[in-house]
Structure formats: C-alpha cells, structure tokens
Amino acid sequence: MLRRLLQPLWVFLAIVFLIEAWLWDHLEPVVARAVALIPLKTIKHWLATRIEQLSPALTLIVFAIPGILLFPLKVAGLWLLAHHYWIAAMLTVVFAKLLGVGVAAFIFDVTRPKLLQMAWFKKLYDFILALRATATELVAPVMARIKAALRGDGKGWANRMLRLIQRFRKRVHEARSG
C-alpha cells in the first residue's frame, strides 16, 4: 500500500535524476567543443598532469572545488528569488546549474581515474550508475505513455484533445497560407 502511494514520488525523483543525467551527458560534448575552441585543452592537459601527482583524496578536493566556487552564485539566485526578481533569479539558477554541470563533467573527466581508485568512491559511482539504470526503467513506461499520447493514436481524452489541437493548428495554418 505504502509503495503504491509513493510511486508518483519515486517517478518524480527518477525524472529529476534522469534530467540531471541528461544534462551531464549533453553538456560534456558542449564542454568538449569549448575545449577545442579555446585553450581549455591545454588547461585540461596541465590539470591532468598535476592530478597524476596527487593522491586520490586530494583529487577529490579538486573535483569539489567547482561546486564550492559556484555556491555563491546559487545563493545569489536564491536571494534574487526571495526579493521577487523572478526572471533574474531563474536565469541565475539555470546559469549556475548549467555551468556547474558542464564544469563538473570537465573536471570529472580529468579526475575520474584517480577518484575511482578510492574503494568508497567506486562503490558510490557504481551505485549511481545502477540508480540511473533503475530510474530509466522506472520512467520508461511513463515516457512510453507520453509519447503515445503525443502521437495521438489512442482513444483516451488526452488523445482526442491532441487530435483536436492538431486539426485546429492545421486549419489556422491553411487559413494563413491560403
């Protein structure tokens, strides 16, 4: 009974987790392109050679530094939100989030081999990967229903509404072009 009541919460948390994972996956190539455009490749090489000399524990500190440095930006976003500067707050929080994920992906790419030498970090990393797989499995049926509803090939009220909207858009488009 409790499991059934908590199902929407678990699906929501899985969706949030998958959004984070999606951002991570999609920002890493953007960061890689930025590395190609500006001398970040040199910085990455310099950082990699420095990290080779560090212990895994010190490497963890290097990995945590971007999060620590971005914390004031997130606090500023919350301050803006508290003072009703909605747009500025949202832009600041989104910018901090995207920058944080992008930089974390860049730094993690460099620090991963050293971090995975720590048994507890490897266990945590494996747990996160398993959690991601579980979240994907949990969200898959919901995503399938959403995709089916967006295709509008079912008989439910949502499908009828989507077909009605599609017909309305088609008529508006025909009226504009004709």
In a domain, 145, yes or no: no
| Nearest alpha-carbon partner for 125 in 40, 24, 45, 30 | 24
CA angle 79, 85, 90 (to 5 degrees): 80
In a domain, 160, yes or no: no
Instruction: Report d(CA 149, CA 86) in Å as an integer.
Output: 32
In this predicted model, what pLDDT tens digit does every residue of 14-43 receive, in sequence order?
777 777 777 777 766 776 676 666 666 777
In a domain, 84, yes or no: yes
SS3 141: helix
In a domain, 85, yes or no: yes
Tell me the HSE value of 97 on the side-chain side, using a 13 A CA sphere. 14
pTM passes above 0.85: no
Cα dihedral: 61, 63, 65, 68 (round 10)? -110
pLDDT averaged over every residue in the chain: 79
In this predicted model, what pLDDT tens digit does every residue of 122-175 receive, in sequence order?
999 998 888 888 877 877 787 777 777 666 555 666 667 777 787 888 887 777
In a domain, 178, yes or no: no
Residue 79 has pLDDT above 90, yes or no: yes
In a domain, 47, yes or no: yes
Residue in this structure with the two tokens 């919350």, named with its chain if needed: 78
The percentage of residues in the chain with a pLDDT greater than 70, rounded to a whole number, is: 81
In a domain, 122, yes or no: no
Domain count, the chain: 1
Residue 120 has pLDDT above 90, yes or no: yes
Which range of residues forms the domain containing residue 83? 2-117
pLDDT of residue 132: 80
In a domain, 153, yes or no: no
